[in-house]
Structure 1
Amino acid sequence: MEDKALLGYYEAIEQASEDMLQAARDGDWDRVVKLEGACAVLISQLKHAAANRDLQPEEARRKTKIMQRILLNDAQIRNLAEPWLEDLDRLLAGSPKMVH
């Protein structure tokens, strides 16, 4: 497998993370979960494809930039999800929403 193909996995994961972020912004949490599953499959495929393979320095830098964008998308998704998760916790606990 070529290193370029390895970067293709990272790019596909990045695109899925961007799609997840858009779905989260739209409040479409079912789609976020589906896309998260697709990311898990891509990550598994990447791990298999990357076994015993090293990227060239330029490709490693490109991978780092892709990973930084994925992490930024993930952080934004978590920020959007937190209020929803807090509401879910309150709903499951049966306690009313409190305003500070």
Structure 2
Amino acid sequence: MSLLIDFYKAIEESSAKMLAAAKAEDWDGVMRFEGACAVLIEQLRQRARSEELDAESRAEKTRIMQRILHNDAQIRYLAEPWLANFEQRVGVQNQYLH
């Protein structure tokens, strides 16, 4: 098994934690796990320069990426009402500043 695929698995795990936090409306947690994903993605990029995946690992990578994209879509769906509320509050606050 490839060490490179372990990075994809770690990103998927962090993505799943982001989704769980979003379901719990723990937006600070979502941002924390998003930061962890960003670090892992950068490490993955560095590692990918020197390591290639075999055919089996590429197939696994595809499955992992599909799950990550599914998690991301769910997170975005859950975040939409929160973001709209946030934008509305910021807009109201900006009215008082002018």
Instruction: Give the TM-score of the pair, scaled to structure 2.
Output: 0.90
Q: What residue ranges of structure 1 are gaps of 5+ in the alignment?
A: 96-100
Shift, 1:53, TM fit: 2.8
Q: Percent identity, please.
A: 51
Q: 4+ residue runs of structure 1 moved beyond 2 angstroms?
A: none
For residues 13-92 of structure 1, the aligned pairs below 5 Å read: 13-92=11-90
Q: Name the one with the larger helix percent.
A: 2
Q: What residue ranges of structure 2 are gaps of 5+ in the alignment?
A: 94-98
User: How many pairs were matched up?
Assistant: 93
Instruction: Give the TM-score of the pair, scaled to structure 1.
Output: 0.88
In 1, distance between residues paired with 2:2 and 2:51?
11
